[in-house]
Amino acid sequence: MGGKASLYMVLGFSLIFLVAGYNYGLLTNNAVDNNVNYYCETIAHNIAVSGANIAANQVFLNKSWTTGYSNVPFSNGTINVKVENVGANNIKITSTGTYQNITKKVEILLQPSSYAKFAYYMNIFPGSSFLYTGDTITGPFHTQGKLNVQGSPVFQGKASAKNGLKLLDKYTTPKFYGGFESGVDIPINWDVTQTKLAALSGGHVFNYGGAGKMDVRITYNGNATVTYSYSTNGGGTWTPDSTKPLSSFAPNGIIYVEKGNVYLKGTVTGRNTLFVDQSSGVGTGNVYIDGDVLYKSNPLTNPSSQDMLGIVCSNNVLISDNTANRNNVEIDASIFAYKGGLGLVNENMPASGTLKVFGGIVEYQAQNTGTVNGSGKVTNGYHERIIFDERLMLTSPPYFPATDKYEIISWLE
């Protein structure tokens, strides 16, 4: 019995070690296979990401590029890229990378970058103008000229200029807390095709027809209604006031004056864009601020506020010289003035406190909003204060003008 028991014991241990050895070998082989598979998946993923980046760069260089790539050799694998316009000038890039019969896919969505992202954009920065000590830009700043500074103005967002930085003297020390970049080219662009189409399809259009112009008075009432009247003889006579719910007056939030001027005030509810155009000349395409333009729900105290206004005009946004504007004036809006800027109807108006803009200003050329004497006291017009609406980094008023540059808004792997 002892011999048989020993034999059985030897056979049993042999079987155990044989099974264990087989399992250890299987684990080793699986580990190698997993490493190989992981390596191949990583290479395929990297190829897909590379294809997406290459295609995105082509779109940034040429926004009409939709050629894509078909079976392009890359890193011992292949790239396939499809580029398609998915509406509202948005572009979708689908990139697949294949390596050793393993395929990975990357999808990215690009949209035109909105001018609303700027706290202050100045196409022309006059050589005689400077930003001084005490001036603070709370969001992104850009100029297509030189950024002229004196003393220690503060830039809390990123600042950029096409033609560099001009320091008035050796004591000038601007504070760039978001960084400064020179050589950035973002020309002002009057591409309002989408805005016009939206106005014609789901907004409200004021159009006198022919060569005539139509001036319009608009008051936002703070209860989701708007009161308006208009004149077709240069303000000689006006129609009686009409009040309509914004939901039916301009369902998609676009109010479009095809050729004329707008006199604006009131309390804004919801998302709106006021678009004022002209056919020719300088007598139209202006917005006159006749009093405060405020949001009903202040985003500074209520971050969930949905109130947002875009003021888009082909000429100027001008502060009226009237009683309502003699003791401070506030404009809650992102302003886009294509040929002019934010200025005063009467540059000789009395000193009238502070002009506060909550949103941002995009203008062709800086305008005068106040005159200061040698001691720094305002003698005419206003102190100017611009507070950037941080929501504009992620969204914008309906159909607000966009730059000719694209930005990535989603990346799905």
Instruction: For 85-143, write each residue's pLDDT tens digit.
Output: 887 678 999 999 999 989 999 999 988 889 999 999 999 988 877 887 778 889 999 99
Write down the pTM of the prediction. 0.81
Query: What is the b/e burial string over 281-297, where b = at least 16 CB atoms within 10 angstroms of the residue's CB?
Result: eeebbbbbbbbbbbbbb
pLDDT of 178: 93
Distance, in Å, from the CA atom of 273 to the CA atom of 311, rounded to the nearest integer, reads 6
The pair of three-digit structure tokens given for residue 45, joined into one six-digit string: 């993923």
Mean pLDDT of the chain: 88
Paired with 278 in beta bridges are none
Confidence grade of residue 279 (pLDDT, cut at 50, 70, 90):
low
pLDDT of 342: 95
pLDDT of 128: 79
Q: Which H or E run includes 7?
A: helix 2-61
Reference 290, options 323, 245, 243; nearest CA is 323
Query: If you search the block for the tokens 């050799």, which residue do you land on?
Result: 73
Instruction: For 345-370, write each residue's pLDDT tens digit.
Output: 999 999 999 899 999 999 998 888 88
Domain boundaries, the chain: 2-100, 114-405
State which of 102-106, 111-115, 170-174, 378-382 shows the largest mean pLDDT: 102-106
| DSSP category for residue 52 | H
User: Does the CA dihedral 13-17-18-20 come out positive or negative?
Assistant: positive
Residue 398 to residues 115, 197, 250, 272, Cα–Cα distance (Å): 12, 12, 11, 6
